[in-house]
Structure 1
Amino acid sequence: MEEAPADDGVRAGQGIALARTRSGQVAGYVSSDILTFKGIPYADTTAGEHRFMPPRPAPAWEGVRSCRHYGPVAPQDKGTGRFNDEEAFIFQWNDSVESEDCLRLNIWTPGTEGNARRAVMVWLHGGGYAAGSSHDLPAFDGENLARQGDVVVVSLNHRLNLLGFLDLSAHGDRYAASGNVGMLDIVAALEWIRDNIAAFGGDPARVMIFGQSGGGAKVSTLMGMPAAQGLFHRAGVMSGSFTRPATRESSRRLTDLFLAELGLDGTQVERLHTLPYLTLRQAAAAVTARENAPFPGFVDVRAVGGRLDFGPVVDGEILPAAPFGSTAPAMSRDVPMIIGSTLNEFVSGINQPDAQAMDEAELQRRAEAFVPGRGGEIVAAVRARTPDASPFDLWSRIATSPVRQSAIDQAAAKASAGGAPAYLYWFTWQTPVLDGRPAAFHCLDIPFVFANTARCASMTGGGASARRLSDRISAAFVAFAKTGNPRHADLPSWPPFNPTEMPSMVFDDQPGVANGPDRDELARVV
């Protein structure tokens, strides 16, 4: 049950919370009964001559390294959300020092005994491939999940944006991997976990990778990477099924435009190793702003695949093909998946105090713009299931239906591949915060999975309803990490997905399975 830990305080000092890695000994701290280690290097710095290069092993150190505070995060543009009071209130972002020496990971464990062999839950943060970190949201703190589930929780930082995904492969063999080094960082972290996690009480043969939004996209990408095969055994994609990797053609076009923006040609690529990151970032921002049409007032995920931006590249080797299309990657056939989305995703009342003032005429206008020639039809289809919903709530469901459809499509692709199953969920619980305007917004399911609804009260309200649902959701993810099946005693039976019945676990005050609850409306909207 999600609750505050016993008030035993924090203990840190000589001889407390020690573990030995292959690079050397680390010291963490104890918070009540959970041992925490932060900022452990899993690979070496990526600065200077090592920019755009695959990760290298972390250098060894002598003595005991203090690992009690989060390490540096990848250089990035954090966007404008922090300037919006409501948004900043809800998310409570944790900012940190940025550095190209950012390949660090964090561990929460109930104990370091080597024979414990606890399941390992590896969190990949969101922010697309451009921003974010292992700890930029309080929701990512792994202490409660480790305690409640008796599991080892790991989170990590990796290279982002142009530092992680600038495809320089046309400019020499040295840069053959440059378009995917951000993903190779994650592979290096998984290799580190394989080699070291037993010293933290974890089982390297029971590793679950899971992530939300961009983190979910990273999970999907890892499913199709030969270098990652065998390094994880379960996978969870939360609101991240809609992202697709870039083609070699589009990634090289972006690189050409980027170099031109800097005033460089192909003979001057070496200068990219010494130019300040801010200079590079500004050039990249100028190119993407010029090449990509702005979103029409909300994130329309239908347009995401056609945008020119930095992300994994289908290069035929590191990433042989786009991992999910009509079927799932054969190399991950035996990896079961949890796949889901939230009801309102990117269209909520956050930063919009007058959202619910939308009238019927505005709803019809937006629906017509969303699907020209069929606006009235899709409004009627969505209203049929929830006739009492407000115009804004109907618009939210219409605009975010492609996110839900992408989760269904990914589950269907996994099911069609045979092998291990996929379990589909739909998070529909509505937060009471800010008069309920944020609804079931993008990211709201994260604190429920991490048993952090009280810690993240500005997202969840912190009340009893949120805690009860969190107990059920976090227990499902823990069961899945341990066994590959989310079944547990306090949750109705959750069958694997099949494309005929399309069963979804609906997470609300009273969780339950519904077969294709939105099948009819999706058939008209998407």
Structure 2
Amino acid sequence: MMTKFRTDMPVVHTNAGQVKGFENHGVHTFLGLAYGADTSGRGRFMPPRPAAPWTGVRLAYCHGDIAPQAPRRPSSPDDSAFMEDALLNGLQAGTQSEDCLRLNIWTPGLDTARRPVLVWLHGGHYSLGSGHDLAAYEGSNLARRGDVVVVSLNHRLNVLGHLNLSGFGDEFGSSANVGMLDIVLALQWVRDNIAAFGGDPDCVTIFGQSGGGGKVTTLMAMPAAKGLFHRAIVQSNCALRQMDVATSLSLTAAVLDELGMPQAGASQLQEVPYAQLSRAELAAVARLSPPSNPARRNRRIRWEPVVDGNVLPRHGGWPDAPAISASVPMLVGTTLNEFTHAIGQPDLEQLSFEQVAADFALSFGSSAAAVLTTFRDRYPADRPFDIMSRAYSATIRQCAVEHAQSKAALGAAPAWLYWFCWQTPLLDGRPRAYHNAELPFVFNNVERCSHGTGGGQEAVRLGEIVADAWIAFARHGNPEHPGLPAWPCVTPDGAQTMILDAPSRFETNPDHDERMVAGAA
């Protein structure tokens, strides 16, 4: 009798050695595969090196170590903890170490089928997370439904991935971007090895959400990544620009100051315990960051790639789309409510329009009244907090629209826009279509993440529709499929948008006036 879970699997040969995974409900799974060498000690702040070859067979049954990172804020005993459990199941699961260059693979077959490959880049804005910290990231359902190969990975983050030590000598010239170079090394590993796992190295899609969407955008401007991927999906990326050299050097100086080592050499920094380095970098970021502004989330100082003129010659999406990836089709979008929701803050549902107006005055300045009037006129039935959420989220959607338009303006490969507007019924609907809400749908993990989606027929069906769009895009470079209305691509001056909801619908430019007034404020 065929079992649903098997470990009597064939050995797979990679360019570094043999590995063996397991099969679960027909999907072959390999966890914690090494794509790069240990980055600790003299490897810290240095470009990644391929994994050293090994003899014998390595078992790929467990996730690998994750990049060192600061603890996330502890859960409070309210509905925010409930929603956190919905997506962050196993938050930061696994041991943290600088030997973290690991990837995971889910594939329907170890054969010569040459399936499309989807490489997932996790969120956490270059400082937090891993390829397996969210329950939504588990790739078996997506692999099974689409007959595709799904890959997720870990790479260096925060100060270890982006501290600019270029002034300490040529050998540290790329230190501000080694976290991104880790991803390039992983994509090279995919190119060289994925055929042995049933994948097609000539049909690779990179996709990521939040900080992971920023990683996709950055890779599209990196010469080292050219040719390693053939499609790109950007989900809820809040910034088209990366950090400039001057800002990165000021952050480096602030870290050294917090360490009490203003004259330290790079070799000394390679020996500082990570816990000490982490305390210093957190203090430095806090010291240099301006006050938070919900309408301008992309202007805060945080660890991110640096436009150094070498590894990253230009910004990923500003002032236009990079010509180096002109031939790569792109799918880009956001959620309706992004970061402005009432998870853990039920009192926000009782806001008055006078309170919203006062909040807008702080965020939008002299344009506050125009913003409030525009959104109230367009959505007269919305409550005050709904108006606030739409307005703040519009600035993030505007980034997606500009990204798609600039891509279309290159006149090479097309771009498509989506807007995820389905709102969870849980917790009286307070979460709305929050930042992260689309993840269980993209991975066809609606039931697995039922704490966030509620499960049920409507959500499950939407999950199938959304997953099928991502699968179609990975396979054909076009997200259209029979489960959705016709989905035209974006024009250089348009905002043609598929609204992913129950039911989904296409609109040519559903929110032009709102984006213009909020984005220009």
- Alignment TM class, shorter chain as reference: over 0.9
More deviation, 468-477/258-267: 258-267
Question: What is the root-mean-square deviation of aligned Cα atoms in Å?
Answer: 1.5
More deviation, 269-278/371-380: 371-380
Match of 1:53 in 2: 46
Shift of 1:266: 3.8
In structure 2, do the counterparts of structure 1 residues 373 and 444 end up closer, same or farther at CA, with 3 Å as the change threshold?
A: same
8 Å contact from structure 1 (residues 246, 314) kept in 2: yes
Q: What secondary structure, in the 3-state scheme, does the structure 1 residue paired with 2:178 have? A: helix
Q: What secondary structure, in the 3-state scheme, does the structure 1 residue paired with 2:346 have? A: coil
- Supply the AA of the counterpart residue of 1:400: S
1:262 aligns with 2:255: no
Shift of 1:261: 1.7
Match of 1:9 in 2: 4
Q: What secondary structure, in the 3-state scheme, does the structure 2 residue paired with 1:367 have? A: helix
CA distance in 1: counterparts of 2:439 and 2:354, whole angstroms: 35
Deviating above 4 A after TM superposition, structure 1's stretches of 4 or more consecutive aligned residues are: none
8 Å contact from structure 2 (residues 106, 143) kept in 1: yes
Match of 2:23 in 1: 30
Q: What secondary structure, in the 3-state scheme, does the structure 1 residue paired with 2:365 have? A: coil
Unaligned runs of 5+ in 1: 1-6
- Cα shift readout 1:32-55 (whole Å, capped 9, x = no counterpart): 100000000000000011000100
CA distance in 2: counterparts of 1:500 and 1:256, whole angstroms: 42
- Cα shift readout 1:59-91 (whole Å, capped 9, x = no counterpart): 111111011111010000132153464233223
CA distance in 2: counterparts of 1:474 and 1:302, whole angstroms: 30
CA distance in 2: counterparts of 1:510 and 1:164, whole angstroms: 42
Match of 1:491 in 2: 484
CA distance in 2: counterparts of 1:162 and 1:50, whole angstroms: 14
Match of 1:4 in 2: none
Q: What secondary structure, in the 3-state scheme, does the structure 1 residue paired with 2:386 have? A: helix
1:162 aligned to which of 117, 140, 159: 159
CA distance in 1: counterparts of 2:389 and 2:434, whole angstroms: 10
- Supply the AA of the counterpart residue of 2:48: P
2:209 aligned to which of 195, 204, 212: 212
CA distance in 2: counterparts of 1:373 and 1:420, whole angstroms: 39
Match of 2:273 in 1: 276
Match of 2:296 in 1: 302
1:127 aligns with 2:120: no
8 Å contact from structure 1 (residues 24, 60) kept in 2: yes
More deviation, 481-490/372-381: 372-381
8 Å contact from structure 2 (residues 295, 363) kept in 1: no
CA distance in 1: counterparts of 2:295 and 2:323, whole angstroms: 26
CA distance in 2: counterparts of 1:61 and 1:344, whole angstroms: 48
Q: TM-score, normalised by structure 2?
A: 0.96
Match of 2:72 in 1: 79
- Supply the AA of the counterpart residue of 1:196: N
2:311 aligned to which of 318, 331, 339: 318
Q: What secondary structure, in the 3-state scheme, does the structure 2 residue paired with 1:22 have? A: coil
Which runs of structure 2 are paired with 1:298-377 in the superposition (5 Å)?
300=294, 302-305=296-299, 307-377=300-370
CA distance in 1: counterparts of 2:240 and 2:407, whole angstroms: 16
In structure 2, do the counterparts of structure 1 residues 30 and 49 end up closer, same or farther at CA, with 3 Å as the change threshold?
A: same
Q: What secondary structure, in the 3-state scheme, does the structure 2 residue paired with 1:340 have? A: strand
Shift of 1:116: 0.5
CA distance in 2: counterparts of 1:406 and 1:221, whole angstroms: 14
Q: What secondary structure, in the 3-state scheme, does the structure 1 residue paired with 2:366 have? A: coil
CA distance in 2: counterparts of 1:265 and 1:346, whole angstroms: 37
CA distance in 2: counterparts of 1:87 and 1:407, whole angstroms: 27
In structure 2, do the counterparts of structure 1 residues 84 and 484 end up closer, same or farther at CA, with 3 Å as the change threshold?
A: farther
1:456 aligned to which of 431, 446, 449: 449
Shift of 1:355: 2.1
- Cα shift readout 1:419-457 (whole Å, capped 9, x = no counterpart): 001100101100011111000000001110100000000
What percentage of residue pairs aligned between the two structures are identical? 48
- Cα shift readout 1:92-120 (whole Å, capped 9, x = no counterpart): 2212210100000000000011x210000
1:102 aligned to which of 92, 100, 124: 100
Match of 2:32 in 1: 39
8 Å contact from structure 2 (residues 240, 315) kept in 1: no
8 Å contact from structure 1 (residues 220, 241) kept in 2: no
Match of 1:136 in 2: 133
1:187 aligned to which of 184, 193, 199: 184
Matched residue count: 514
More deviation, 28-37/249-258: 249-258
Match of 1:116 in 2: 113
8 Å contact from structure 2 (residues 202, 230) kept in 1: yes
CA distance in 1: counterparts of 2:40 and 2:371, whole angstroms: 51
Which runs of structure 2 are paired with 1:140-155 in the superposition (5 Å)?
140-155=137-152
Which runs of structure 2 are paired with 1:373-392 in the superposition (5 Å)?
373-392=366-385
Shift of 1:333: 0.5
8 Å contact from structure 2 (residues 238, 298) kept in 1: no
1:524 aligns with 2:521: no
Match of 2:236 in 1: 239
Q: What secondary structure, in the 3-state scheme, does the structure 1 residue paired with 2:117 have? A: strand
Match of 2:245 in 1: 248
CA distance in 2: counterparts of 1:325 and 1:290, whole angstroms: 27
Q: What secondary structure, in the 3-state scheme, does the structure 2 residue paired with 1:57 have? A: coil
Unaligned runs of 5+ in 2: none
8 Å contact from structure 1 (residues 78, 132) kept in 2: no
Q: What secondary structure, in the 3-state scheme, does the structure 2 residue paired with 1:371 have? A: helix
More deviation, 484-493/189-198: 484-493
Q: What secondary structure, in the 3-state scheme, does the structure 1 residue paired with 2:227 have? A: coil
- Cα shift readout 1:334-354 (whole Å, capped 9, x = no counterpart): 000000000000000111122
8 Å contact from structure 1 (residues 33, 110) kept in 2: yes
CA distance in 2: counterparts of 1:388 and 1:409, whole angstroms: 29
In structure 2, do the counterparts of structure 1 residues 188 and 129 end up closer, same or farther at CA, with 3 Å as the change threshold?
A: same
CA distance in 2: counterparts of 1:478 and 1:378, whole angstroms: 38
In structure 2, do the counterparts of structure 1 residues 421 and 70 end up closer, same or farther at CA, with 3 Å as the change threshold?
A: same
